[in-house]
Every structure is written in structure tokens, then in C-alpha cells.
Structure 1
Amino acid sequence: MSYAIIGFGAVGQALARAFARRNIEVAVASRRPPEAFAPQARAIGSTVVAKPLRDAVEADTIILAVPFGEHREVAKVLPSWEGKTIIDATNAFGVPPEELDGLPSSAFVAKSFTGARFVKGFNHLIAATLAADPIVEGGHRVVFLSSDDEGAIAPVADLAKQLGFAPVKLGKLNEGGALVHARGRTWGQLIFQDLFKKEQ
């Protein structure tokens, strides 16, 4: 399984740290040419590899960590996203609901990625929290996952566990998933909730 993070701002770098901590190779890409941020990537860890966007999207599993409005530009890179899993870590805070056709923001984003399996995840924590070691005494930091494709959640939950997090499934995007979606200028109730799950 190959992984990529698209977007190398605060959230993208925080996620790259999570991969580096576990020595899992991950490609990182942004609007900038890879040589512009390769030193930052290398400083995070040897398994974090700066690549051009077109190369990074060859990965099996892609975490979308760009500002919400940029998802369409990423989606244009491939004509079809068949066989790929997209993890949507974006937030649409401040975007009027009518601009999203009344859909949860992830369902709206999913329309641009034709053929992809689509999961909302890793979006509810601020970057500094996401960058910190998710394992604390007696527990693992929770990440919430939601999708309209039940089968897509399992491999993303496995990745979350590999990274040291405790995945909690919220069901469909417009059901439990609504708790981690911003709507207009209102944050979902679980956004910013820094929770831990104790070892069983």
C-alpha cells in the first residue's frame, strides 16, 4: 500500500510527522515544485518524500490536506480516481451551505474525484495536536472516520492504527459524519474534541 499527502501546510506537515514517527513511507506534494519544500520534508523524516503532484497521486491512498477550495485543482490531475482511496482532511468552514448544494462538504468534494473510495478523516484536530505523538499513558488519540462507502473505512482505520491513533467510525457522511463537518460558520460538535481511547 502506498500513501501520499497532498498539501504541505500545517496539517499536511503534521500528518507527515505521524508517518515519519512510524517509519512509513509517504509522498508529499503541494502547488509548489517539490524542490521548494524537499528540505522541509527531509527534516521531518527520511520516509517523507517530496514529489510533483502528478507523481504523488499515483499512490493507493491519498490524504487531501489542501485548503477546501483547492480540491478541484487536485481532482483535475487524473481523469479517473478508480482504485484509489481519498481521505478528506479538509474543512469547509465559512463556505456557505448553498455553495455545497446542501451536501456535507466531503460529499461535495467526493463528486470531483470520480471513481474514488472516499473517507472523511484526520480533519477534526488542529495541526499542532495532530503532529503530537498520539500515544499517551494508557491510551491512543481518537480520529473520527466517516464514509458513504462502508468498505472504504476499514483500510483507513487500519492506517490510523498503524499511525498510533484510535479510529472511531461515525457512519455515513450525512449521519454521524455531520459531527465532524463545518457548516457555514458553524463547526461540527466533534471538531476540536481531543479524545483518547484507553487500551482494552
Structure 2
Amino acid sequence: MNADIRSAKGLVKEFVDAYGYDAVIFEVIEPVLTKLGIRLKRQEASLAQSYVASMIVDELLLLHQDSFKSGSDTSQLKGPVVLGNIEDDCHPLGRKIVSTFLRINNWEVLDLGIDVDAKTFVDEAVRIGAKIIGVSAMIYSTAENIRKVSQELKERGLEKQIKLVVGGAVFRLRPELVKEVGADGTATNAFSAIALFEQMAEEGKQR
């Protein structure tokens, strides 16, 4: 993985033209991001490589989302939902992929970005009437902070009204963390995230 952004963008465009956006995101981008995350944790990758990956993913997702806008039916919007990276977590790429795919599938998404504290997650969910909060974390030390979101919901008596779902590499490596941090579910990629959000929304209606 080098940091040549022009060559990388050209390569991604070739794959998109040949195989389409979904194939590139899940068969090229996600594996590269997983590998990059591991190398960053081991200090085997540079900030330049991380920057290039972020730029490519941002551009790819923007193009992918724009390709769906003309055919979208805003009268069938679902949600709203709140997404963000938990406090101290600054790895946005996985969250951005999920955010884009939710929007493509007619979900109204409030994306709070990186390094979001528990109170802000819950405050914003209450403000917009969201019934699902999606929290991303890449490594164990930041995933532990998601407990604060669960606790904030419980302290306000909202744990039955608002579902808490989580995602990120650490939950694929350690599935038991989902329950440990007080979450209601997790997804391994953007496709399964859509199904998870649909499931959480349906369970919320049954309460």
C-alpha cells in the first residue's frame, strides 16, 4: 500500500468501470481498510497512507451516493438514525461506508463524525427523534467507551426506546464485546448493517 493518490484513484476507477461500486467497496476497499487498520495499529503504516485511503473512500462514496439520488424516493424515508465514532476514536472510513449505504437505502442519517461523547450521541438522538444510535470503534480501548452511551441511555430511561448498535474491526475480532459494552447488535459490513437497522426498527415498533 503506497501513498500515490493519483495512481490509487486511477486503479479504483478502472475497477468501478469494470465491476461497479458495490463490488469495489466490498471486495477492494473494505479488505484494504482492514489491512490498513491492522498496520496502523502495529505502526507499520504511515499517516500519508491513511490520508490517501480516506480521500479515495470519500470520493468513491460521494460518487456512489450521487448515482442513486435521481431515483430515490424521499417519501419513503426511514429513520432518522444517529451515527458516529465513539469518544477518542478517529477512524471514520467504516462509518462513512455504512452512512452512505443507509442513505442509498432511504434512511435519514445524522452523522456526527469522529470522537463523539456519550452525551452528544443521546442528546442528538432525542433531539431528532432517532430510535437507533450506531456507534463505530476500531480498537478495544475506544470500544470500551461505548459503555458510556449505554449507561447514558439507562440513566435517562431510554434504553427501551432507543436501540444501540455497534460496528468496527474490534467487534469482528471480539464478538463478545457487543454485549459487554451494552449494545443491542452489530454488523460486519454495510450490507449487513442495513439488515440490522431494519431489524432494530421493526423491534422498536413492537414495543
Which structure's residues are more often helix, by fraction? 2
TM-score of the aligned structures, taking structure 2 as reference length: 0.39
Which structure's residues are more often strand, by fraction? 1
TM-score of the aligned structures, taking structure 1 as reference length: 0.40
